[in-house]
Amino acid sequence: MAGREDGNRQRRTRAEASPAWARELLEHLRPAGRDVGRVVAWLAGAVDGSVALHDASGNLLAGTRVTLDEDLVADITAGRIASAAWENREQHLRLVRVEHPSHACVLAVSRSGPFDRRASDMVTHTAQVIELLLTARESTAAGHRLRRATSDLRLAILQLLMVEDTVAARRVAAGLWPGLLDADTACVYVVESDPAARERILEDCLDHTRESALVVRCPAMDGHVIVVGPRETTGEALKSLVGRHRDTYLGGSVRQSLARTATAYGQAVSALAVAHFRPDKTAVYAERTHPERLMDPAALRAWTARLLRPLDTLPHHTRAELLATSRLGLEFTAVAAAKVLGVSRNTVRARMERVETLLGTDFTDLTVRAVVLLALNTQIGLADAPGASGTRAPGPHLADLLSGPALHAWARDLLGRLDSDARNPRRTLRAWIAAGGNAERAAQTLGVHAQTVREHVRSAEPLLERQLLAAGSDLYEVVLAHLALGDLDLPPLHPRP
């Protein structure tokens, strides 16, 4: 009886001792503790020795380096043996193979005393835990790489759409999202949130659109997510998302052809500014009267074709690249255009300078920028307009386009909104545009302080219902209104023959 009780006591002692270290080891599998280095350090303390994790090339992955026999390590990593033991009077060494998704490793444990059953079990079970951690880490890394590659692919598709290469965009999208860009038209939406919350908003956009839209992390604005939605349901899905998140806003474009994605993006950004003042935090670009719609369509196309003719001698892809880059650079800034297109700001500036040279003009002049952007936006539809290009006839001049009675009435009505302000912001605005949007130069011309100029321009924005300080289509429409009324001189344009 005594023997059995002593035996039971010994078994209970071993059973109670094993779970203690085993539980400590299993704690390292919790999400907060998954670190191979910590597991190796734990084992070193538990066996009172030195522990090292080596790869097949002998590189130390974790722990303290232990001198090992290269042939023995090669046998273990190659799978010829699973473990090995070696000892002398000063050192006892255990080597155990650790499986890895891409290559095997060796867990080496060295201690001054011999390995008893408890220490041996610790080494074996620790090797198994390390295997699990390495596999999980590899899977997590592969998941991150896949998500990053998918994100980069979405951005590449957007950048192709921005430069009007719809054929290539469809070809790229077809591999992962068949049918995504089968439609000829789409709306572009911009969802704005706090930059810290953008990743969560991005995932929500993907969930709500169910891969029926192109969802892209905006490369230019940290808090923006761009969504290109060919489906009619995309807008409602995004409105529902914005309604559930605080400090989140949605701006949307009108439906545009895929080739006009850059134009639609500009409309969405413009609508986003309005969304900040709406109770539902959403806004769709208002289809107001635009000056180009008040011009004779045939004359506008003929004038555009003649103005941009110097680019016709370039290879097709070079011409498309220059036109698309210049359109974005004029609509936004060179820095923002570079981020959207995935090129350097110097590349954007170099392309725009080349267009400047071909057109014989200077983009620092706001009147030039307004007129050239008018031509670039019109140019998108030239391919569908028979007879719009390919002719060397003189055609209409800019003055002819701006002299129509409908355009004159529109310009008079638009700028007339400023006449009710006794501070005469109309005079200030005219001087500011003539100075290239530079408040200091305009102030010298007017004999006032630069801050006064800025305040007048800012006060004109709600009256005109257009953003002026942020250069873009809103400002250029106001510039065209000044040109139509003769308040500003026509810009110098001397395109190469």
pLDDT category, 32, cuts 50, 70, 90? Answer: low
Q: Per-residue pLDDT for 276 more than 60?
A: yes
pLDDT in tens, 148-187: 878 888 899 999 998 888 888 998 888 778 888 888 999 9
Give yes or no for a contact between 115 and 123, defined as CB atoms under 8 angstroms apart: yes
Mean pLDDT of 211-223: 89
Min mean pLDDT across 99-108, 375-384, 429-438 is at: 375-384
Residues 256-268, mean pLDDT to the nearest whole number: 89
Average pLDDT, the chain: 84
Question: What whole-number distance in Å separates Cα of residue 74 and Cα of residue 11?
Answer: 39
Lowest mean pLDDT among 8-17, 140-149, 306-315, 378-387: 8-17
**466, 288 contact by CB (below 8 A):** no
Determine the Cα–Cα distance for residues 27 and 41; give it in Å rounded to an integer.
14
* The pLDDT value given to residue 381: 59
How far is the C-alpha of 207 from the C-alpha of 199, rounded, in Å? 12
- pLDDT over 70 percentage in the chain: 89
Contacts with 314 (C-beta within 8 Å, 6 or more apart), sequence order: 322
Tokens 């900040």 sit at which residue? Answer: 276
Confidence check: pLDDT of 19 > 70: no
pLDDT range class, residue 251, cuts 50, 70, 90:
very high
Gyration radius (Cα) of the chain, Å: 34
Residue-level pLDDT at 135: 80
The conformation of residue 31, written as its DSSP 8-state character, comes to: G
Q: Which pLDDT does position 427 carry in this prediction?
A: 95
Percent residues over pLDDT 90 in the chain: 36
pLDDT value of position 486? 94
Q: Averaged over 25-53, what is the pLDDT?
A: 78
Q: Any residues with CB less than 8 A from the CB of 256 and at least 6 apart, and which?
A: 185, 186, 187, 188, 263, 264, 267
pLDDT band with cut points at 50, 70 and 90 for residue 29 = low
- Of the pLDDT bands very low, low, confident and very high (cuts 50, 70, 90), residue 3 is very low
Q: Which of 162, 456, 148, 110 is nearest to 337 (CA)?
A: 162
Using one digit for the tens of pLDDT, what is the confidence trace for 285-331? Answer: 876 677 888 898 899 999 999 999 999 999 988 998 899 899 889 98
Q: Are 480 and 473 in contact (CB under 8 A)?
A: no
pTM value is 0.63
pLDDT of residue 390: 47
Residue 382 has what pLDDT?
Answer: 58
Q: What region, left, alpha or beta, does residue 29 occupy, with left being phi > 0 and alpha being psi -120 to 50 degrees?
A: alpha
pLDDT in tens, 428-438: 999 999 999 99
Residue 2: burial class (beta carbons within 10 Å; 0-12, 13-18, 19+): exposed
